[in-house]
């Protein structure tokens, strides 16, 4: 490795990923996501085959979904739990392959859904749900399904105990609360949220896990709360404030 070559095992920060200017890709939940729209299924299949060859050559493999109208890809380096220069290089290669085949990128509407549980027993829950779903316990205690059949599960501890790197959890109305975390790119959040408002059920913007930026709590009653989260957007504040 040359002195100036990036360390392929160093996890890149959000500003570092943004500086790569990967126009076809969005950073959501610590992973690069892209959507490409082929003219027909056969072209999509050819695209996926070329991606596979490039992935084999790089010894680095994206998660790939082919449907009739879309090719969806996710890139991350599982050994470090984030995005590295390996992902950036392969993302550029995939975009080049799409251009060669005349396939347009459509990053609009890309999202990722995770389910969180407010609990002081995250480690215990992680073992149980990993066994139940045939999933794996990842770096930060999250449960991720390698087959992508189930969303990622994560745990937020109470203020007394805290979860690593997180804002304290407010006092729960019930013993446990499940909530949905929907990750979207900042431009999508701005388009969807519009001006700040406070609906009848109550609404607030609160800082959450540092890797997620900000979240918006849409329901203030009952055992469940729905939150919309955005990928960090440089030094700006929440997309939904």
Highest mean predicted confidence (pLDDT) among 8-12, 82-86, 163-167:
82-86
Average pLDDT of the segment spanning 161-175: 51
Residue 30 to residues 80, 197, 206: CA-CA distances in angstroms? 11, 29, 20
Average pLDDT of the segment spanning 20-40: 94
Give the least confident one: 27-41, 50-64, 96-110, 159-173.
Answer: 159-173
Give the separation between CA 104 and CA 35, rounded to whole angstroms: 9
Give the separation between CA 225 and CA 221, rounded to whole angstroms: 8
pLDDT in tens, 192-237: 776 554 343 333 333 333 333 333 333 333 333 334 444 443 322 3
Residue 53 has pLDDT above 90, yes or no: yes
Give the separation between CA 73 and CA 97, rounded to whole angstroms: 13
Q: Pseudo-torsion of CA 142, 138, 210, 202, nearest 10°?
A: -10
Give the separation between CA 111 and CA 19, rounded to whole angstroms: 21
Highest mean predicted confidence (pLDDT) among 20-24, 112-116, 153-157, 215-219:
20-24
Residue 188 has pLDDT above 60, yes or no: yes
pLDDT in tens, 129-162: 888 888 888 877 888 877 667 788 888 876 544 4
Give the separation between CA 22 and CA 33, rounded to whole angstroms: 10
**What pLDDT is recorded for position 153?**
86
Residue 194's SS3 state is coil
Pairing of strands 71-75, 31-37: antiparallel
Q: What is the 3-state secondary structure (H, E, C) of 107-155?
A: CCCCEEEEEEEECCCHHHHHHHHHHHHCCEECCCCCEECCCCCCCEEEE
What's this model's pTM, rounded to 2 decimal places? 0.70
Give the separation between CA 2 and CA 126, rounded to whole angstroms: 41
């Amino acid at each position: 490795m040359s002195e100036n070559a990036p360390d392929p095992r160093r996890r890149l920060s959000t500003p570092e990923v943004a500086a790569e200017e990967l126009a076809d890709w969005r950073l959501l939940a610590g992973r690069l996501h892209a959507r490409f729209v082929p003219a027909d299924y056969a072209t999509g299949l050819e695209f996926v085959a070329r991606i596979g060859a490039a992935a084999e050559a790089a010894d680095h493999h994206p998660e790939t979904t082919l449907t009739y109208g879309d090719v969806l890809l996710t890139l991350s380096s599982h050994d470090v739990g984030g995005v590295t220069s390996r992902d950036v290089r392969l993302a550029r290669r995939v975009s080049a392959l799409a251009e060669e085949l005349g396939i347009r990128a459509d990053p609009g509407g890309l999202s990722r859904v995770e389910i969180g549980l407010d609990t002081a027993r995250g480690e215990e829950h992680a073992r149980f749900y990993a066994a139940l779903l045939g999933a794996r316990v990842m770096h930060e205690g999250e449960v991720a399904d390698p087959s992508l059949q189930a969303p990622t599960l994560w745990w937020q501890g109470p203020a007394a105990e805290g979860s690593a790197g997180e804002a304290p959890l407010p006092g729960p109305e019930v013993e446990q609360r499940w909530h949905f975390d929907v990750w979207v790119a900042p431009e999508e959040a701005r388009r969807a949220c519009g001006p700040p408002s406070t609906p009848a059920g109550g609404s607030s913007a609160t800082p959450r896990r540092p890797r997620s930026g900000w979240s918006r709590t849409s329901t203030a009653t009952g055992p469940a709360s729905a939150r919309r989260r955005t990928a960090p957007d440089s030094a700006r504040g929440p997309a939904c404030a």
